[in-house]
Chain A
Amino acid sequence: MLELTSLTKKFGSFTAVDDLSLRVEAGEVYGFLGPNGAGKTTTIKMIATLLKPTSGSVKINGIDAHLSPEEAKKFLSYVPDQPFLYEKLSGREFLLFVAKMYRMSENETAEGITEASEIFEVKPWLNKRIEDYSQGMRQRLVLAAAIMHRPKLIVIDEPMVGLDPRGAETFKSQVRLATKNGTAFFLTTHQLLLARDICTKVGIIRASKLVYEGSMSQITGDGVEQIEKRYIELTS
């Protein structure tokens, strides 16, 4: 579903991402971990076509995201760590706008809005303006918008920002549910427990290079302390 091949991004003499190759298959949840400044956000922005790679390629559902961005993005949902929202629109208007952008039919839109807003419990807030939403409520709305059009790949930069424990639990269960339908996830997080709970595969990036790739259980066994210890070893 997602294929990065020798992806490299340079800014002048500084290499932000160096020869990164990885694959995320349908139904997989790929956790992209690493310390601050390692190159996670640059990678994600290249996947979302917000940055062009210096070399290498990003393929979404087999389509080169930088040669045919519009085609590739039909299969993608991207949730940044600080998502943009139209403050003056209501939640419903925002979801309607997203539905139009993904060319959803009226029936699909109505169903999608109902379903996604129920899942993330934003339904009672849908008619209020987004400027009145709390941080957590905004994140729920953005996640609802992300799943509404049933994308094949969801890319999320720090999914838990602002979510309360209930929201976090809903997110995890939705990820599990969506993967059963073949949706692939590519997410970055600093929360190792989240990675342990939902990721089927993790990649660890350090100083712009992928230094580890495998399953979470390969890293650790199950103990939390083990996970943290191993993560620090890999990223030091």
Chain B
Amino acid sequence: MLRELIKTKLRQLYLEGGERVSRHLIRSIFSVVTFSVFAYLTYTVVRFATSYLITEAKIGLFLYHRLLALALFVFFVIVSVANILVAFATIFRNTETEYLHTLPIKPVEIFAAKFLDSFLYSSTLMLILILAAVAGYASFFGSGLIAALGIVLAILPLILSAACIGAIVLLLVLKFSKKVSVKTAVGIVALLYAGSAYSYISLNNPFRLFNDVMKYYPHIDRYLGVLDPKLDYFAPSFWSANFFYFATTGNVLGAAASVLIVGGTALILFLLMIRLAGKFYQEAFWTARHKLFERKVKDTGEMGESSARGNIKPVSLMKRDFLLFVREPSQTFHFVVLIVLIGIFLFNLFAMRIYLPDTFIISSAFTLIFAFNSFLIVSLAVRFVYPMLSLEGQSIWLVRSSPVKLKRVFYSKLLPSVVFSAVLGTLLGYAAPSPFRSFHGLISTSMVYGFVGGIIYPALVMIFGSAFVDYREKNPVRISSSHGATVSLLVSLGVVVILSSAVFNQTFEYFSSKGLLRPSMSAVWLTGTIALTSLLLSRFFGVKALQTDM
């Protein structure tokens, strides 16, 4: 039964981009090109960074692999959180899941099939990134075997563990949401995640570790496990990084032990998840459906069908979109979490002080903060702007049959997003230079780039949201985790790289000369042109998408 379910799911997944290539030829080619370029960039960046850290900065193999452990930990947490969101949309609130529950199938089999669905759906980008990164790592150390073994034995079990933890957390939240409210349960989980991430990162502060390791100079390639905080042993990412350390230094026994721990953890978590699903999934499914219906009952009469009637003007459309947004818990919850995280990040930026003597390193540090700011805006855009047009599918009949200009419908979606993101970009641009000495001279340039980026990213993401529009999918989380969303993320990250390069060049000049920095006119022209082109293209594709034959 489970085999049939999975076979049907895989067939459906395969055919999604399969035989109808002629219809989606441009999309497919574009996707392949984007994925390839991005994979190549990741490969190059990792290879360059590894080469720089080992041969130029000479930080030693141990510290390098501890930085790798930190990166893998961040990756682990991201995969786990992403899986909670996608798993909720896929395993609990999905029309197919509802259908499967009407058939005589064991709930645990439905859970297993939908877990696989959710896992494959949400991990494509992560897998590409990690494959390219491992290839970059292995090419520096000159061992394809380590890359192959690392991916299969250390990385895939790590991703599986993260996904299993996400699904277990979700099951427990729904299980206990009968006793405490969903908000409380989610709040506890958010605190647990934030607390463990904060503890791990504080305990593994790279600057402290750097000082500790350097006490052992010149024996810094040696395994200095005595420096590891004990908490690290509980993080599967730590053992994945250890595998790479031991494999690179030729310690077969150490590598094998690390693989056993990572693989064993994945297996235990998977079995635990299936066991918990066997116990709780049916109840949890009913709880999720009950909450959904409860909300529908509450909303009846306030919004109901009235949202689909009446005189359609841009303000009415914005109001409708706003109401639909705030009444969809997965949207508001995720939005609030991201905004709180941005708030914490801003607070830390204002509190942080960075003193670095080297011009190259200080410029890199500033550029990294700027790039991270841009990444935050891109994440918001992909999560919330990308699904906007697809979500119109539920009432596209109304839009198409009403006396309203389609470009107005489109503007009602794009403009609020652009305004919000431009304001956020400017604010983050204002905060980015504050950790640095003599930061005042940087502020105007940083704000200009932040503002322009804030216009570009939602417009760019909207282009892909239009080109890959899917009027049948109703779930915003699934839409924003789709293939097209991944492409939009990658292309936006490409623009982040371009803007960050411009910022790096200018900050390098600034920190070299200490003069007041003004944005260079050529960079302003370039970014302005990208912004304008993105806006025009997004309008073109957006209106086209609204005109698509249903």
Contact = CB atoms under 8 A, between A and B. Distances in A.
Interface of A: 11-12, 14, 16, 37, 42, 45, 48-52, 69-71, 73-74, 76, 78, 80, 83-84, 86-89, 93, 97-98, 100-103
A205 B519 CA distance: 71
Contacts of A74: 104
A73 B101 CA distance: 9
A97 B18 CA distance: 20
Contacts, number: 79
Contacts of B96: 84, 86
B1 interface: yes
Nearest to A129: B15
Interface string B100-136: 0111111100000000000000000000000000000
Interface string B1-38: 10011001001100110100000000000000000000
Contact of B472 (A76, A83, A87): A87
A73 B103 CA distance: 6
Given A88-B15, A89-B12, A73 B102 contact: yes
Contacts of B300: 37
A52 B8 CA distance: 28
B16 A73 contact: no
A76 B102 contact: yes
A89 B297 contact: no
Contact of A16 (B15, B105, B282, B297): B297
B105 A101 contact: yes
Interface string B67-104: 00000000000000000000000000001101101111
B102 A70 contact: no
Given A11-B294, A97-B4, A49 B101 contact: yes
B405 interface: no
Interface string B277-318: 000001100100110011001101000000000000000000
B297 A49 contact: no
Most chain B CB inside 10 Å of its own CB: which residue of A37, A45, A52: A52
Nearest to B286: A52
19 contacts: A11-B294, A12-B294, A16-B293, A16-B297, A37-B300, A45-B289, A49-B101, A50-B98, A50-B101, A51-B293, A70-B105, A70-B106, A86-B96, A88-B12, A88-B15, A89-B8, A97-B8, A100-B4, A101-B1
Most chain A CB inside 10 Å of its own CB: which residue of B4, B15, B282: B15
A70 B104 contact: yes
Contacts of B11: 88-89, 93
Contacts of A69: 107, 282
A98 B243 CA distance: 45
Nearest to A78: B102
Contacts of B297: 11-12, 14, 16
Contacts of A93: 8, 11
A73 B102 CA distance: 7
A73 B99 CA distance: 12
B381 to A, nearest CB: 28
